[in-house]
């Protein structure tokens, strides 16, 4: 039996919608990263982008365990002297509702050009509405992925 290698152009991409309300951030991010990468398909190829599109609604209503909402801190440096910027999850959720989820998912994808293309297939919205109705997205149950 021969190994079949799928190129990115041969992939049939689906659209999935995920409601994040009440879901734990890390568990949801791990399962969404799996779908974005294409590991749920039998045609998974590590060196090609074979994943599907994922629409996340209610991105600001995720759950965190323990005291992470106040103690977990996101850091980035501006590049200038003394330019370390920090923000807790609660501060980040107020300013940018989907950033905590996007950062969690991006950390689970490859750190190369392939991963950058995969994260572009993630659409995050803080409200229950999204503008992708024309793509006819299917509901994705994160417990069964």
Reduced to 3 states, what is the DSSP secondary structure of residue 53? strand
Say how far apart CA 37 and CA 131 lie, in whole Å: 23
Whether the Cβ atoms of residue 63 and residue 23 lie closer than 8 Å to each other: yes
pLDDT at 108 over 80: yes
Whether the Cβ atoms of residue 15 and residue 136 lie closer than 8 Å to each other: yes
What is the model's pTM? 0.92
Residues 12-70 have pLDDT tens digits of 999 999 999 999 999 999 999 999 999 999 888 888 999 999 999 999 999 999 999 99
Residue 89: pLDDT band with limits 50, 70, 90: very high
What is the separation of C-alpha 115 from the centre of its chain, rounded to a whole number of angstroms?
11
pLDDT at 144 over 80: yes
The full set of domains in the chain, from first to last, is 8-64+97-144 (3.90.1180.10)
Say how far apart CA 45 and CA 35 lie, in whole Å: 13
Whether the Cβ atoms of residue 78 and residue 40 lie closer than 8 Å to each other: no
Whether the Cβ atoms of residue 20 and residue 122 lie closer than 8 Å to each other: no
Say how far apart CA 65 and CA 96 lie, in whole Å: 20
């Amino acid at each position: 039996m021969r190994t079949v290698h799928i190129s990115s152009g041969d992939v049939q991409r689906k659209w999935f919608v995920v409601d994040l309300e009440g879901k734990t951030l890390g568990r949801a991010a791990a399962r969404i990263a799996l779908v974005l990468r294409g590991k749920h398909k039998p045609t998974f190829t590590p060196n090609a982008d074979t994943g599907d599109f994922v629409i996340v609604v209610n991105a600001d209503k995720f759950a965190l365990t323990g005291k992470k909402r106040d103690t977990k801190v996101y850091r980035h440096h501006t590049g200038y002297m003394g330019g370390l910027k920090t923000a807790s999850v609660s501060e980040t959720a107020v300013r940018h509702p989907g950033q905590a989820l996007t950062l969690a998912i991006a950390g689970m994808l490859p750190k190369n050009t392939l991963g950058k293309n995969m994260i572009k297939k993630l659409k995050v919205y803080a409200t229950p509405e999204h503008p992708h109705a024309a793509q006819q997205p299917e509901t994705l149950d994160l417990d069964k992925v």
